[in-house]
Structure 1
Amino acid sequence: MSPQTIRRSRLRVGMVAGGVVALLVSWMMVAVSAQAAAGCRVAYTVSAQWPGGFTANVNVTNLGDPLNGWSLVWTFPSGQRVTQAWNATVTSSGSQVTAVNASYNPAVGTNATVSFGFNGSWTGGNTNPTSFALNGVACTGSVGGTTSPTVSPSVSPSASPTVSPSVSPPPPGNPMATVAAMEPGWNLGNTLDAIPDETAWGNPLTTQALLRHVRSQGYNSIRLPITWSNHHGPAPAYTIDAVWLGRVRQIVDWSLAEGFYVMINLHHDSWQWINTYPTDQANVMNRYRALWTQITAAFRDHSPKLVFESINEPQFAGTSGDEQNYQVLRELNAEFVRIVRASGGNNATRLLVLPTLHTNADQGRLDALTAEFNQLRDPNLAATVHFYGYWPFSVNIAGGTRYDSTVEQDLIGTFDRVHDTFVARGIPVVIGEWALLNWDHNRPGVIERGEFLKFLEAVGYHARTRKLTTMVWDAGQFLNRNELRWRDQGVYEMFKASWTTRSGTASSDQVYVPRTGAITSKSLTLNLNGLTFQGLRQGSTNLVNGTDYTVLGSTLTLTAAAVTRLAGNRAYGVNSTIEARFSQGVPWQIHIISHDPPTQAAATGTTSSFAIPTQFRGDQLATMEAKYADGTPAGPANWTPFKEFWQHFQPDYNANTIILKPEFFAEVDDGAVTLTFHFWSGAQLTYRITKSGTTVTGTT
Structure 2
Amino acid sequence: MTHHLPVARHRARGASLAATAALLLLAPATIGGTAFAVDSTAPTTPTDATPMVHNRAMDTVARMQPSWNMGNSLDAIPDETSWGNPPATKALFDYIKSQGFRSVRIPVAWSNGQSATAPYTIDPTYLARVKQVVDYALADGLYVDMNVHHDSWQWITNMPTQHDQVLARFDATWTQLAETFRNESDRLLFESVNEPGFTGATGDAQKMSLLDELNNSFHSIVRRSGGGNATRLLILPPVGSSPDQTSMEHLAADMATLNDPDLVATVHYYSFWPFSVNIAGYTTFNAQTQQDLTDAFNRMRDIFTSKGIPVYLGEYGLLSEPDSGIVERGEMLKYFQEVAYQARLDHVTTALWDDGNFLDRNALQWRDPALFSWIKSSYHTESGTASTDQVFVSKSGPVSAQTLTLNLNGTDFLSIWQDDTRLVRGRDYAVSGNQLTLTAAELAKLTGTGAYGVNSTLQVHFSRGLPWQIQVITNDTPALSGATGTSDSLAIPTQFHGDRIATMEASYADGTGAGPASWTTYQEFGTAFSPDYTGGALTLTSAFLTSLKDGAPVTLTFHFWSGTSDTYHLTKSGTSVTGTSS
Bin the TM-score by the shorter chain: over 0.9
The answer for the alignment partner of 1:374 in structure 2 is 256
Query: Do residues 387 (structure 1) and 272 (structure 2) align?
Result: no
- 1:279 is paired with a residue whose SS is coil
| Aligned counterpart for 1:600 among listed residues 453, 463, 480 | 480
The answer for the alignment partner of 2:326 in structure 1 is 446
Query: Do residues 431 (structure 1) and 310 (structure 2) align?
Result: no
Structure 2 CA distance for partners of 1:58 and 1:340, relative to 1, 3 Å: closer
| Aligned counterpart for 2:96 among listed residues 190, 214, 235 | 214
Q: Matches of 1:482 and 1:666 in 2, distance apart?
A: 39
- 1:565 is paired with a residue whose SS is helix
The answer for the alignment partner of 2:556 in structure 1 is 675
| Aligned counterpart for 1:418 among listed residues 278, 300, 310 | 300
Q: Any residues of structure 2 matched to 1:619-658 within 5 Å, and which?
A: 619-658=499-538
Q: Matches of 2:375 and 2:314 in 1, distance apart?
A: 16
Q: Is the 8 A contact 1:161 1:216 kept in 2?
A: no
Q: Is the 8 A contact 2:110 2:151 kept in 1?
A: yes
**CA offsets 1:141-162 (integer angstroms, 9 cap, x no match):** xxxxxxxxxxxxxxx3436556
* Alpha-carbon shift at residue 230 of structure 1 (Å): 2.4
Structure 2 CA distance for partners of 1:615 and 1:625, relative to 1, 3 Å: same
Q: Is the 8 A contact 1:256 1:305 kept in 2?
A: yes
**CA offsets 1:331-374 (integer angstroms, 9 cap, x no match):** 11000000000111000000000001111111100111011111
Structure 2 CA distance for partners of 1:8 and 1:411, relative to 1, 3 Å: farther
Letter in 2 for 1:430: Y
The answer for the alignment partner of 1:199 in structure 2 is 81
**CA offsets 1:382-440 (integer angstroms, 9 cap, x no match):** 10000000000000000111000011000000000111000111100011000011034
Q: Is the 8 A contact 1:160 1:216 kept in 2?
A: no
The answer for the alignment partner of 2:25 in structure 1 is none
Query: Do residues 509 (structure 1) and 399 (structure 2) align?
Result: no
Letter in 2 for 1:226: V
| Aligned counterpart for 1:363 among listed residues 240, 245, 254 | 245
| Aligned counterpart for 2:408 among listed residues 488, 506, 528 | 528
The answer for the alignment partner of 2:362 in structure 1 is 482
* Alpha-carbon shift at residue 324 of structure 1 (Å): 1.2
Q: Is the 8 A contact 1:621 1:678 kept in 2?
A: yes
Letter in 2 for 1:550: A
Query: Do residues 686 (structure 1) and 567 (structure 2) align?
Result: yes
Q: Is the 8 A contact 1:385 1:431 kept in 2?
A: yes
- 2:523 is paired with a residue whose SS is coil
Q: Any residues of structure 2 matched to 1:455-470 within 5 Å, and which?
A: 455-470=335-350
The answer for the alignment partner of 2:198 in structure 1 is 316
The answer for the alignment partner of 1:287 in structure 2 is 169
Letter in 2 for 1:628: Y
* Alpha-carbon shift at residue 491 of structure 1 (Å): 1.0
The answer for the alignment partner of 2:130 in structure 1 is 248
Query: Do residues 349 (structure 1) and 223 (structure 2) align?
Result: no
**More deviation, 391-400/492-501:** 492-501
Q: Is the 8 A contact 1:9 1:440 kept in 2?
A: no
Q: How does the TM-score come out when normalised to structure 1? A: 0.77
Q: Matches of 2:325 and 2:196 in 1, distance apart?
A: 32
Identity level (%): 50
Q: Matches of 1:255 and 1:243 in 2, distance apart?
A: 19
The answer for the alignment partner of 2:460 in structure 1 is 580
The answer for the alignment partner of 1:119 in structure 2 is none
Query: Do residues 698 (structure 1) and 565 (structure 2) align?
Result: no
Q: Matches of 1:331 and 1:525 in 2, distance apart?
A: 52
Q: How does the TM-score come out when normalised to structure 2? A: 0.93
Moved over 6 A (4+): none
Q: Matches of 2:269 and 2:299 in 1, distance apart?
A: 13
The answer for the alignment partner of 1:549 in structure 2 is 429
Q: Matches of 1:640 and 1:485 in 2, distance apart?
A: 40
- 2:409 is paired with a residue whose SS is coil
* Alpha-carbon shift at residue 277 of structure 1 (Å): 1.2
Compare CA radii of gyration and give the structure with the larger one: 1
Letter in 2 for 1:403: F
Query: Do residues 609 (structure 1) and 496 (structure 2) align?
Result: no
Letter in 1 for 2:290: E
Structure 2 CA distance for partners of 1:211 and 1:395, relative to 1, 3 Å: same
Q: Alpha carbon RMSD of aligned pairs, Å?
A: 2.0
Q: Matches of 1:471 and 1:411 in 2, distance apart?
A: 16
Q: Matches of 2:29 and 2:416 in 1, distance apart?
A: 16
Higher relative contact order (CA 8 A, sep 6+): 2
* Alpha-carbon shift at residue 216 of structure 1 (Å): 0.7
**CA offsets 1:506-544 (integer angstroms, 9 cap, x no match):** 000000001133211011000011111111111122111
Q: Matches of 2:459 and 2:570 in 1, distance apart?
A: 42
Query: Higher helix share goes to which structure?
Result: 2
* Alpha-carbon shift at residue 103 of structure 1 (Å): 3.1
Q: Matches of 1:226 and 1:338 in 2, distance apart?
A: 21
Letter in 2 for 1:461: Y
The answer for the alignment partner of 2:141 in structure 1 is 259
Q: Is the 8 A contact 1:308 1:352 kept in 2?
A: yes
Q: Is the 8 A contact 2:12 2:368 kept in 1?
A: no
Structure 2 CA distance for partners of 1:595 and 1:337, relative to 1, 3 Å: same
The answer for the alignment partner of 1:20 in structure 2 is none
Structure 2 CA distance for partners of 1:106 and 1:408, relative to 1, 3 Å: closer
Q: Is the 8 A contact 1:173 1:380 kept in 2?
A: no
Query: Higher strand share goes to which structure?
Result: 1
Letter in 2 for 1:679: F
Q: Any residues of structure 2 matched to 1:137-148 within 5 Å, and which?
A: none
Unaligned runs of 5+ in 2: 16-27, 43-53
Letter in 2 for 1:539: D
- 1:203 is paired with a residue whose SS is coil
- 2:522 is paired with a residue whose SS is coil
Structure 2 CA distance for partners of 1:463 and 1:160, relative to 1, 3 Å: closer
Q: Matches of 2:242 and 2:36 in 1, distance apart?
A: 38
- 1:438 is paired with a residue whose SS is coil
Q: Matches of 2:31 and 2:404 in 1, distance apart?
A: 24
Unaligned runs of 5+ in 1: 11-46, 48-56, 60-66, 69-100, 108-155, 164-171
The answer for the alignment partner of 2:23 in structure 1 is none
Q: Is the 8 A contact 1:524 1:557 kept in 2?
A: yes
**CA offsets 1:285-334 (integer angstroms, 9 cap, x no match):** 11001110111111100000000000000101222211111111111100
Query: Do residues 158 (structure 1) and 76 (structure 2) align?
Result: no
Structure 2 CA distance for partners of 1:175 and 1:287, relative to 1, 3 Å: same
Q: Is the 8 A contact 1:599 1:616 kept in 2?
A: yes
- 1:597 is paired with a residue whose SS is coil
**CA offsets 1:569-592 (integer angstroms, 9 cap, x no match):** 111100000111111111000000
Structure 2 CA distance for partners of 1:639 and 1:9, relative to 1, 3 Å: farther
- 1:278 is paired with a residue whose SS is coil
The answer for the alignment partner of 1:111 in structure 2 is none
Q: Matches of 1:534 and 1:560 in 2, distance apart?
A: 21
